[in-house]
Structure 1
Amino acid sequence: MEGNMKSLWRPLMAVALLSLLSFCNGEDPYRFYTWIITYGDISPLGVKQKGILINGKFPGPPIESVTNDNLIVNVFNNLDEPFLLTWNGLQQRRNSWQDGVHGTNCPIPPGKNYTYALQVKDQIGTFFYFPSLAMHRAAGGFGAIKIDSRPKIPVPFPPPAGEYQILVGDWFTKSHNDLKGILDRGGDLPVPDGLLINGHGSDRFTFTVDQGKTYRFRICNVGLTTSINFRIQGHKLVVVEAEGTHTLQNVYDSLDVHLGQSYSILLTANQDPKDYYLVASTRFSSRVLAATSILHYQNSKQTVSGLPPPGPTIETDWSLNQARAIRQNLTASGPRPNPQGSYHYGEVNITRTIILQNSAPIVNGKRRYAVNSVSFLPADIPLKLADHFDIRGVFTLGSIKDSPIGSPVSLQTSVMAADFRSFVEVVFQNPENTLQSWHLDGQIFFVVGMNRGQWSAGSRSVYNLRDGVTRSTVQVYPESWTAIYMPLDNVGMWNVRSANWARQYLGQQFYLRVNTDSSSLRNENPIPKNALLCGRALGRKSEIVVDETEEQWELNV
């Protein structure tokens, strides 16, 4: 009993210390979360299965914050296997120590906890979190993140009457362990069994609105394998934000949201007072799956009837044109008072061009996925710890090249070196007939171009060098290319990965080591006092303790 009391007391004492420090130093506000990770029975598609719950909830609880808030998230792992959470789209300035992927953090062991310390520095927008190990993402454990602008920073639209978060994505009724087993044996995942909207199948979730008022819908594609199209029967969608960037307020009948992407749209309830279908359906898939919810007018006198409105399926040009039209609103303020467009990225000299080409080879008789002929092989220790403690033989800088090399695919712990404050051009070249979606942790980038066919130096003539949208996840259409400009202004070891989780799991990822010789804390935070150590890093640092009255209490539980 005494040991249990100490285990509960220690994190509470650490929280109290952080609160006291923030009060004394006048820091940005702190928000504290305690999350208990457990298994629980769920049946979102009518089939009972074992899901990953956070505080007993599926999906998990939302994080609601304001620009520059400090987020202290204490995660207790009550699963029977290691666990990690990652923060899709949070830049984590100077702080890849908290990224929550296998290359940066030791997993939280069963029965233990880890406290993430994040700051949403200079960010606004719509994001989400999810489990990053193995195929945990297929069992749940995901939830919404929203970052509101500070009160004095103007937003380029009137305050909405209300907000709704929509977490949408494909879903499998097979367990996450069964799906992992399929991939481990070299197989392909089956077609998903359906789509979920906020953890529910069709017609089990209702969004209530008042006639004549405008509402904000924050939409995230939290699925594993499939792009979706989102639409609301009889209503127009006004896109106002993409992953933290205020956009031109284009009006659409429907919106494509690719894997890992997030958007905000405004909807005005200006139709007859009845119920309407809210629809999500798959895009670029062999079989079209759909899920519906209900948009319910407060004074509705009629329920939905008939079939939900159909959406696009494999119309690539339609989607490509929509993607090109999603651009920055240069007159809007971002997280800071200065306009987002004041950063003239088109006038900055490019210091390096990186061309990344995906492939789907068979290696040793099993399906793998690769980037520039390298399929990522996880190390037995987080790469960030190996780098920090100078543990040799874990990875080799330059183990993935800057362009496709055409050689047979190899299995390596691939890490690409990059210089802090360089400004690079990255081209994602997709020779396959499937849509790709790429995500970069810790960095934002400007989407400057996308088109069909093979990229060449001449493709730069069609780049958008004025108001390309900034984001951290971008799609590459089948047999097409997408180009981005990226300021490498965030030191750390950052994951570059396919947002298609089966492809990521089987090797379509690598790490980008953004480095500087300076050890200034302005460039990167020190290793956290509560950092979990594992593998060859065990014993590499002494315990960090806090002297409290007559006893010394460990800050790391």
Structure 2
Amino acid sequence: MGRAISFITLFFFLHVAAYGVLGDSPYRFFTWNITYGDIWPMGVKQQGILINGQFPGPQIEAVTNDNVIVNVFNSLPEPFLISWSLLLSLASFFSLCHALLCSALLCSALNGIQQRKSSWQDGVYGTNCPIPPGRNFTYVMQFKDQIGSYFYFPSLAFHKAAGGFGGIRVLSRPLIPVPFPPPAGDFTLLIGDWFKANHSTLKYVLDSGRDLPFPDGVLINGRGWNGNTFTVQQGRTYRFRISNVGLTESLNIRIQGHAMKLVEVEGSHTLQNTYSSLDLHLGQSCSVLVTADQPAMDYYIVVSTRFTSKVLSTTAILRYSNSGGTTAGPPPGGPTIQIDWSLNQARSIRWNLTASGPRPNPQGSYHYGLVNTTRTIRLANSAPFINGKQRYAVNSVSFIPADTPLKVADFYKIPGVFSLGSISDNPTFGGGYLQTSVMAANFRDYVEIVFENYENTMQSWHIDGYSFWIVGMDGGQWSAASRKSYNLRDAVARCTVQVYPKSWSAIYMPLDNVGMWNVRSENWARQYLGQQFYLRVYSPVNSWRDENPIPRNALLCGRASGRRTRPL
């Protein structure tokens, strides 16, 4: 293993010398071995995915602009891929510079941070060939101009239901101010619904054309009821980074007797509103500050499902270091099916315009609301039956994977793998059909995307490679008149947005990241059964200034097998 690490280290220093893309920032090297192993998260033995023997996997901790090298050995008997909720979800708004009402100095600063970007490290099948059994692949990432709380997860074959996920912390550089004092401690909470059945059984259910049953429970950091203890000292303040890594359900979190001050969501500092409980929808992450200002006892941290007729809950313990071990009464109840409550809370989450982002520029220096959009894309989810099987769709198209990753096929100009324009910009409200759906888009366009939910179910959407401003959400049907209610001043920027039942959510997004990017439901059963597509953001320049070249270590498969990886 030591020889393998040395080889990989040498390889990437040669890679840096050849490409010069990673700069002088520090390097952080990780070597991960992916295996199956027995886990008992709910008292029943299951087959879980372990990373270096751990469930959940090891945490990645880095600083803005760090170069992160993760060498992944696949010891599973089937192909495997890891994706990253932060990777290339960049706040790189330089491409809008000349359209913004900002100073020449700011424009110069924004142009100065332009850097090569790529979807080659995204870790989903539309962009990357899977890691074959017994092989390895090394992800080379720079956490460029990012801060905040994120997570990683397996993206193939419903592996996410077996584990393989872990937390990511990206800290600010020392000279960039953070809008709150350094906390006394920093905790990660990976929360999510869970099934007692093995992931292979759940995959068989979906492949058979049926939907998943209701989950069996909720986990915190891979454990059930009172399975985790977080020790604090009285009078001190702590940061809790919380991610909903579950498969199907929105969750609510609350800490008995303690207020939670929201300070960050997916890389954006927020107005520091205080909440007694907080909704976290599928795929979302946030940071809250909690002050240990109560009598020295044990207090429950409670996580429970939202918008479900049967409420599932689990707990952890917040323990004062001088506690006698007694709890302060029963676990507190929380909201259950109240949609308006959650909607109002979501609207209260705003961008902190005076806080710095990953660079010294205040977040509010990006005047996103003063830029004219160049295109409106309306996306409606649906749940059609196709060929007698349950599927899920976007604008009537239920995505099916091609025999070759789309990014690879696009790079090598392999015909017949996908067709641009195979998904409409607007809902068709027709019957569902199967298609490898790819939407064409132009580099440096500025788009409005409206997610329209005509179902009675909660939806959550993620766009790889981007952060976007959530400018509006409401009940009913979206229309052009809905724009009158948009928040064009301090809407929060993040990479995942919820859409409430019979409701809509709207975002503004600069297409400043060339590549083939996955737009998907974060409900993993819906994603698996087709509620996703790819957005191909294209630049005719074909310059390394806009996008990194194909990596020399890129895996090739399908119709690209046997081709060279040296950039053409």
TM-score past 0.5 threshold: yes
CA distance in 2, matches of 1:183, 1:426: 29
- 1:459 alignment counterpart: 482
Structure 2: which amino acid aligns with 1:245?
Answer: S
1:168 partnered with 2:165: no
- 1:128 alignment counterpart: 151
- Cα distance, 1:506 vs structure 2: 0.2
Deviation string, structure 1 residues 186-226 (Cα, Å, up to 9, x no partner): 11101111111011101111000000000000000000000
What pairs with 1:246-325 in structure 2 (closer than 5 Å)?
Answer: 246-304=269-327, 306-325=329-348
> Normalising by structure 1, what TM-score?
0.95
Q: Is the 8 A contact 1:92 1:118 kept in 2?
A: no
Q: Is the 8 A contact 2:22 2:67 kept in 1?
A: no
1:540 partnered with 2:559: no
Q: Is the 8 A contact 1:156 1:332 kept in 2?
A: yes
CA distance in 1, matches of 2:236, 2:152: 30
1:97 partnered with 2:120: yes
CA distance in 2, matches of 1:25, 1:51: 35
- 2:139 alignment counterpart: 116
- Cα distance, 1:134 vs structure 2: 1.5
Relative to 1, partners in 2 of residues 1:367 and 1:390: Cα closer, same or farther, differing over 3 Å?
A: same
Relative to 1, partners in 2 of residues 1:330 and 1:534: Cα closer, same or farther, differing over 3 Å?
A: same
Which runs of structure 1 show a deviation greater than 3 angstroms over 4 or more consecutive aligned residues? 4-10, 15-26
Task: Give SS of 1:96's match.
Answer: coil
- Cα distance, 1:286 vs structure 2: 2.9
Q: Aligned to 1:81, which of 68, 78, 81?
A: 78
Q: Aligned to 2:39, which of 34, 42, 47?
A: 42
- Cα distance, 1:17 vs structure 2: 4.3
- 1:200 alignment counterpart: 223
Structure 1: which amino acid aligns with 2:58?
Answer: P
Task: Give SS of 1:97's match.
Answer: coil
Q: Aligned to 1:11, which of 8, 11, 32?
A: 8
Task: Give SS of 1:458's match.
Answer: helix
- 2:545 alignment counterpart: 522
Relative to 1, partners in 2 of residues 1:16 and 1:347: Cα closer, same or farther, differing over 3 Å?
A: closer
Q: Is the 8 A contact 1:38 1:56 kept in 2?
A: yes
- Cα distance, 1:311 vs structure 2: 0.6
Structure 1: which amino acid aligns with 2:69?
Answer: I
- Cα distance, 1:304 vs structure 2: 1.5
- Cα distance, 1:409 vs structure 2: 1.2
Relative to 1, partners in 2 of residues 1:40 and 1:188: Cα closer, same or farther, differing over 3 Å?
A: same
CA distance in 1, matches of 2:5, 2:269: 42
Structure 2: which amino acid aligns with 1:44?
Answer: P
Task: Give SS of 1:461's match.
Answer: helix
Structure 1: which amino acid aligns with 2:154?
Answer: P
Deviation string, structure 1 residues 334-360 (Cα, Å, up to 9, x no partner): 000110110101000110000000000
Relative to 1, partners in 2 of residues 1:34 and 1:271: Cα closer, same or farther, differing over 3 Å?
A: same
Relative to 1, partners in 2 of residues 1:15 and 1:387: Cα closer, same or farther, differing over 3 Å?
A: closer
CA distance in 2, matches of 1:370, 1:18: 40
Deviation string, structure 1 residues 22-42 (Cα, Å, up to 9, x no partner): 999961111100000001110
Q: Aligned to 1:155, which of 158, 178, 189?
A: 178
Task: Give SS of 1:271's match.
Answer: coil
Q: Aligned to 1:362, which of 385, 395, 413?
A: 385
Task: Give SS of 2:484's match.
Answer: helix
Q: Is the 8 A contact 2:300 2:318 kept in 1?
A: yes
Structure 2: which amino acid aligns with 1:81?
Answer: E
Q: Aligned to 1:391, which of 414, 417, 429?
A: 414
1:28 partnered with 2:51: no
Q: Is the 8 A contact 2:89 2:495 kept in 1?
A: no
Q: Is the 8 A contact 1:22 1:29 kept in 2?
A: no
- Cα distance, 1:407 vs structure 2: 2.3
- Cα distance, 1:410 vs structure 2: 1.3
Q: Aligned to 1:492, which of 491, 495, 515?
A: 515
- Cα distance, 1:10 vs structure 2: 3.5
- 1:58 alignment counterpart: 55
Structure 1: which amino acid aligns with 2:84?
Answer: W
Q: Is the 8 A contact 1:381 1:535 kept in 2?
A: yes
Relative to 1, partners in 2 of residues 1:278 and 1:532: Cα closer, same or farther, differing over 3 Å?
A: same
What pairs with 1:472-487 in structure 2 (closer than 5 Å)?
Answer: 472-487=495-510
Q: Is the 8 A contact 2:552 2:565 kept in 1?
A: no
Structure 2: which amino acid aligns with 1:11?
Answer: I
Deviation string, structure 1 residues 76-108 (Cα, Å, up to 9, x no partner): 000000000000132266110000000000000
- 1:191 alignment counterpart: 214
CA distance in 1, matches of 2:361, 2:321: 39
Task: Give SS of 2:120's match.
Answer: helix
Relative to 1, partners in 2 of residues 1:119 and 1:9: Cα closer, same or farther, differing over 3 Å?
A: closer
Q: Is the 8 A contact 1:90 1:127 kept in 2?
A: no
- Cα distance, 1:306 vs structure 2: 3.6
- Cα distance, 1:522 vs structure 2: 1.2
Relative to 1, partners in 2 of residues 1:536 and 1:5: Cα closer, same or farther, differing over 3 Å?
A: farther
Q: Is the 8 A contact 1:233 1:309 kept in 2?
A: yes
Q: Is the 8 A contact 1:72 1:116 kept in 2?
A: yes
Identical residues among aligned pairs (%): 67
- 1:553 alignment counterpart: none
Q: Is the 8 A contact 2:22 2:142 kept in 1?
A: no
CA distance in 1, matches of 2:27, 2:43: 40
- Cα distance, 1:302 vs structure 2: 4.1
Q: Is the 8 A contact 2:82 2:152 kept in 1?
A: yes
Task: Give SS of 2:156's match.
Answer: coil
Q: Is the 8 A contact 1:275 1:304 kept in 2?
A: yes
Deviation string, structure 1 residues 265-305 (Cα, Å, up to 9, x no partner): 00000001101000000001231100100000011124225
Gaps of 5+ in 1: 545-557
CA distance in 2, matches of 1:460, 1:74: 46
CA distance in 1, matches of 2:236, 2:328: 23
Deviation string, structure 1 residues 410-433 (Cα, Å, up to 9, x no partner): 100000000001000000000000
Q: RMSD over aligned Cα, in angstroms?
A: 1.8
